Amino acid sequence: MAETTTPTAMSASNRLLADLTSAEYAAGFVTDIDSDAIPAGLSEDIVRIISAKKDEPAWLLEFRLKAFRHWQTMPAPQWARVHYPAIDFQSIVYYSAPKRKLDGPKSLADVDPKLLETYEKLGVPLHERAALAGVAVDAVFDSVSVATTFRDKLHEVGVIFGSFSEAVREHPELVKKYLGSVVPYSDNFYAALNSAVFSDGSFCYIPKGVKCPMELSTYFRINAKNTGQFERTLIIADDDSAVSYLEGCTAPMRDENQLHAAVVELVAHENARIKYSTVQNWYPGDKDGKGGIYNFVTKRGACRGNKSKISWTQVETGSAITWKYPSCILQGDDSVGEFYSVALANNYQQADTGTKMIHIGKNTRSTIVSKGISAGHGQNTYRGLVKIGKNAEGARNYSQCDSLLLGSNCGAHTFPYIDVQNPSAQMEHEATTSKISDDQIFYFQSRGLSAEDAVSMIVNGFCKEVIKELPMEFAVEAQKLLGLSLEGSVG
Amino acid sequence: MTGPSAPFSEIASAVPSWGGPSWLSDARKSAVARFVSAGLPTTRIEAWRTTPLPDLGKMAYAPGSASTANQAGALVKPFMASDVVTLVFVDGFHSETLSSSVATWPKGVRLAPMSRQLVVSPEDLQPWFADMGATDGALHDLNTAAFRDGAWVVVDDGVQVQMEVRVVLVSTSTDQPVAQHVRSLVQLGRGASLRMMVAVIGAREARGFTNSHTTITMAERSRLDLVRVHESPPGVPHFDALSATLGAHSVLGDTVLQTGPSWTRSEIDIVLNGERATADLGGVFIARGTQVSDIHTLLSHQAPGVISRQNYRGLAADEARGVFHGQIKVESEARGTDATQNNKNMLLSKRASVHSTPALEILTDDVKCKHGSATGQIDQAQLFYLRSRGIDSVDAIRILTRAFASEIVSRLSDESTRRLIEAQIAPSLEQLGVAA
């Protein structure tokens, strides 16, 4: 409360607020590279052009057209607590690819050095030195996948990892079987749009009994102007397999808003484990809310087999608008779903994010830990559904949603939906909302720490439960990002 | 006019014949227009997603007629006492014979049925209808269009009313199903205090629909203790809306006991717009059979230092469906808000279900907000404890469900009121068709 605040603490925290909100977006450069783009706009012809450019089989074109026709009948969703001017879908370029040599890059050596430089700048280890990091990377630049590392090594153990287009060419039976099986093209407005125009993405198949020997990673970058990015990720973990997958994203700083509408589908068969981690750092717009990415993403995993497990971890620091609900459908008995999230909304960012845990099988368990941080004029919303079906005997859910408010102009909102249809289920939901109190800052300061350090320690402590779920390299990046995005925003 | 609103179509033509001041006729006409264009709420509307309205379409509704049904007398009897003032409404109309006589009314309280007030001094009522918007929903519009009666209670500045005021709405068994739309207005002056009970009851065979709306305004430092019993018979679905505006330092206590057996939905809409106002709310639904029991709360915190407490519990047996939707809104000017919300539900059968949505919307950083929600079955360890002491499982479950509900009942500080409520909800607790 104001009357207990000492003048020094006030000014320190005000200064901190100013610093924090003025933090720069480090990944905001543009790479000057020739790209092969199609005219802006969306029609059946555009869908056909995209399909033709990618030399797709007829069944995939059919899938796209069905999705497109369905999309035309759908209204844009209005229910999320985010506000933005209506998107003109005709002004977006739906396909943009870095221009290739005639046959496209066969290996990293063939990749445009400028592109590699871009990833170098972003700290994505595409090159051989990546061996040290031990992470296999598939990089998606604007609309297409540009490079995949460590393919041979993965091939030895039977893991298929690469771009979606390759998978369509080389493993059409797998793609055909699983595409749209978790997120049908008719699922929602943006999933339908993605199904119609998706350009590329990552595909991953882990065969029976294989524990993927390294972390798999995709790096997404929007570079070209006025383009939308619509990628699709499909991960299948067959019986008794395990995989850990990381996803990172950045975009240049631009004054206009750009659209990103991705679909991610995960399928875990019996006793399989998928861990999916995201550090989302799309350009959030400037401090007056100008520009930034609209991030409308559908992510869903199906625990098809008994004892399977899907775990989502996300650190969402970027995007002007985030609209994203990574979900688990717990079909198999004893299957487990997890959702760990840190969402940060600074300046004029708006985030409406959360999860759905659909318990269908017996003894299914789910855990939700969501941490929302709002600063500046940021609006952060947790929206989640826990549904325990009639046959989900012994299902168990624990949800925890905490919000931290930094400054008096931001907002934190929580909308948990809890539907229980089985008496043997146990579910608990807890939420708290608070700010960093002056007492806490004072405690740190009296021990000789600066107000800045105090805030950063408190924020880190607040997010710790989520950050510790991330693979180590990502945890470091996430912590750095949180620090950067928040620098100076404590009141 | 299309399908769903058809049962109420006669209202549009009836409005002109009811007379009354022109501003009211105008308000009614625009409400009819809004209702006709929107129709009855369907599950496609987010707020009604989990609570489908029962099929009202197949019933022939008529606006209630002033009948003096003798059967109401026996039903109202438990609510009569020498130290309370009772206003009784039968099938939507004030019953003079069943209500307390004017001579017993306490001083400083102006009490009248709306039907009389509309004739005697309608200008007193006009401010209540001044800011009627389209945002309150179709059933609110329907109520505005069709209400004929209700309680009008005004407590003057500084008056501490010692006697409890009881408003009883009774549905009787009639040849034709009756839709009763009741509107009550309660106003507390500065520093005034009042205890009030609203009971919605009816004869077992009654058929119809109850649509009851109560609007409360509380001036500075006033205090209202409200108890509401929703016990509409199975053939009479009951929609109830309570909206209250709380002035500075005022205190509203509300306890709602939703015991069925009809389809029941309570909407509680509280605006805390005076500094340091307090809303202390609690309630329990006891749902059985194929009942739907729904409690929707919206607490809007709009002034510095306001406090709200919510404690709602639910019991669902058989194929019943319970719904709790609680929304806390803290506006940016409500610095220092302290809001907590707690929802606990117990499922007593395999086919029962509960939907719980505790939502928070917070627009300032200087707040303390917490909510918790838990749903489960009877604690097996507690059950075992009782059974190991020789109590059979039916009785043990009865003890545990009663204990679960009693946390809400124990909110009532007045002993005679609490006894009455305990007696009133006991049969519902007994009848929880418990399958161990």
Residue closest to B284 by CA, chosen among B308, B324, B318, B312: B312
The C-alpha of A323 sits at a distance from chain B's nearest C-alpha, in angstroms, of: 17
* A427/B369 CB distance under 8 A: no
Using CB atoms, which residue from B335, B365, B372 is nearest to A430? Answer: B372
| Mean pLDDT across chain B | 88
Instruction: Round to whole Å and give the CA distance between B7 and B212.
Output: 18
- What was the pLDDT predicted at A30? 67
Percent of chain B's residues with pLDDT above 90? 51
Alpha carbons B138 and B140: distance in angstroms, whole number: 5
Is the CB of B347 less than 8 angstroms away from the CB of A422? yes
pLDDT at A253: 65
Query: Which among A418, A433, A491 is the nearest to B360, CB-wise?
Result: A433
Task: Judge: A412–B360 Cβ closer than 8 Å, yes or no.
Answer: yes
pLDDT of the residue at B232: 92
Q: Which residue of chain A has the CA closest to B315?
A: A423
Separation CA B271–CA B268 (nearest Å): 10
> In what helix (H) or strand (E) does residue A130 lie, and over which residues does it extend?
helix A130-133
- What is the chain B residue with the closest CA to A409? B364
Would A136 be classed as within a structural domain? yes
Provide, as residue numbers in chain B, all residues whose Cβ is less than 8 Å from the Cβ of A413.
359-362
Q: Are B226 and B252 in contact (CB under 8 A)?
A: yes
Q: Could you count the other beta carbons within 10 Å of the beta carbon of residue A289?
A: 16
Enumerate the residues of chain B whose CB falls inside 8 A of the CB of residue A427.
Answer: 373-376
Report how far residue B347's alpha carbon sits from residue B179's, in angstroms, rounded to the nearest whole number: 32
pLDDT value at residue B74 = 86
How far is residue A454's CA from residue A449's CA, in Å, rounded to a whole number?
Answer: 6
pLDDT of residue B184: 95
Q: How far are the Cα atoms of B101, B112, B114, B146, B148 from residue B118, in angstroms, in the given order? A: 20, 10, 6, 14, 9
Does the residue A48 lie in any domain? Answer: yes
Rg (CA), chain B: 21
Q: Which of A134, A408, A48, A381 is nearest to B365 (CA)?
A: A408
What's the number of CA atoms in the CB half-sphere (13 Å) around residue B162?
Answer: 5
Q: Please check the confidence at residue B364 and state whether its pLDDT lies above 90.
A: no
Q: Average pLDDT for residues B280-293, to the nearest whole number?
A: 94
**Residue A391 at interface with chain B, using a CB cutoff of 8 Å:** no
* pLDDT (0 to 100) of residue A332: 96
The pTM (predicted TM-score) of the whole model is 0.83
User: What's the structural domain count of chain A?
Assistant: 1
- CB A429 to CB B362 under 8 A? no
Q: Is residue A25 part of a domain?
A: no
Give A412's contacts in chain B (Cβ within 8 Å): 360, 362
Distance, C-alpha B153 to centroid of its chain: 17
Inter-chain contacts counted by CB atoms under 8 A, chains A and B:
120
Q: What is the pLDDT of residues A119-175, one digit of tens each?
A: 565 555 554 434 444 456 666 666 556 566 677 778 889 999 888 888 999 999 999
Distance from CA of B387 to the nearest CA of A (A): 20
Tell me whether residue A152 is in a domain.
Answer: yes
Q: Which residues in chain A show pLDDT less than 70?
A: 1-35, 98-149, 222-226, 249-255, 473, 484-491
CA distances from B323 to A356, B109, B295, B343 (A): 19, 36, 6, 11
Tokens of B75: 């039903």
8 Å CB contact of A413 and B369: no
**Cβ <8 Å between B365 and A407:** yes
Residue of B350, B365, B374 with shortest CB distance to A422: B350
pLDDT at site A96: 76
Q: Is residue A210 part of a domain?
A: yes
Q: Which range of residues forms the domain containing residue A62?
A: 38-324
Interchain contact, A420 vs B353, CB within 8 Å: yes
Residues B150-155: what's their mean pLDDT? 94
What does the pLDDT read at residue A136? 62
Contact B365, A406 (CB under 8 A): yes
pLDDT at A27: 66
Q: How far apart are the first and last CA of chain A?
A: 11
| Secondary structure string (H, E, C) spanning B6-74 | HHHHHHHHHHHHHCCCHHHHHHHHHHHHHHHHHCCCCCCCHHHCCCCCCCCCCCCCEECCCCCCCHHHH
What pLDDT is recorded for position A251? Answer: 63
Over residues B205-248, the pLDDT tens digits come to: 888 899 999 999 999 999 999 999 999 999 999 999 999 999 99
Q: Is the pLDDT of residue B267 over 50?
A: yes
Nearest-Cα distance to chain A for B197, in Å, is 32
Q: Has residue A135 been placed in a domain?
A: yes
Q: Between chains, do A429 and B372 touch, taking CB under 8 Å as contact?
A: yes
Please say if the pLDDT value at position B428 is more than 90: no
Reported ipTM exceeds the 0.90 cut: no
B158 dihedral zone (left: phi>0; alpha: psi -120 to 50; beta): left
A418/B357 Cβ within 8 A: yes
pLDDT score recorded for residue A131: 42
Q: Which residues of chain B does A433 touch, with a Cβ-Cβ cutoff of 8 Å?
A: 360, 362, 367-370
* Residues of chain B contacting residue A403, judged by C-beta atoms under 8 Å apart: 360, 362
Give Cα B250 distance to the centre of its chain.
Answer: 20
Phi, psi of B73 (to 5 degrees): -55, -50
DSSP lists the bridge partners of residue B311 as B282, B342
What angle (nearest 5°) sits at the alpha carbon of residue B95, between those of residues B92 and B98? 130
- The answer to whether the peptide bond before residue B261 is cis (omega within 30 degrees of 0) is yes
The model's pLDDT over B34-93, given as tens digits with 9 standing for 90+, comes to: 888 888 888 888 888 888 888 776 555 665 555 555 778 888 999 998 889 999 999 888
pLDDT tops 50 at residue B372: yes
**Residue A144 resides in a domain:** yes
Task: Give the residue with greater pLDDT, B49 vs B274.
Answer: B274
